[in-house]
Amino acid sequence: MKEQKLKCPICKKASTWSENPFRPFCSDRCR
């Protein structure tokens, strides 16, 4: 299975969906 990348809506940084507890944001700071 291909790992999903998504862009944080706040800072536009790409992050990995599967292991990101803050999705769709890249971090708690952007949330």
Structural domain boundaries, residue 12: 1-31
Looking up residue 14, the CATH number of its domain turns out to be 3.30.50.10
| Tally: H helices and E strands in the chain | 0, 2
Number of domains the chain is built from: 1
- Most distant pair of Cα atoms in the chain: their distance: 29
| Per-residue pLDDT at 1 | 58
Q: How confident is the chain (31 residues) per 10-residue block, as mean pLDDT?
A: 82 86 87 86
| Per-residue pLDDT at 7 | 92
| Per-residue pLDDT at 25 | 86
| Per-residue pLDDT at 15 | 84
How far is it, in rounded angstroms, from Cα 14 to Cα 21?
14
* pTM score, whole prediction: 0.60
Report CA dihedral (13, 26, 23, 5) to the nearest 10 degrees.
Answer: 40
Beta carbons of 17 and 5 less than 8 angstroms apart: yes
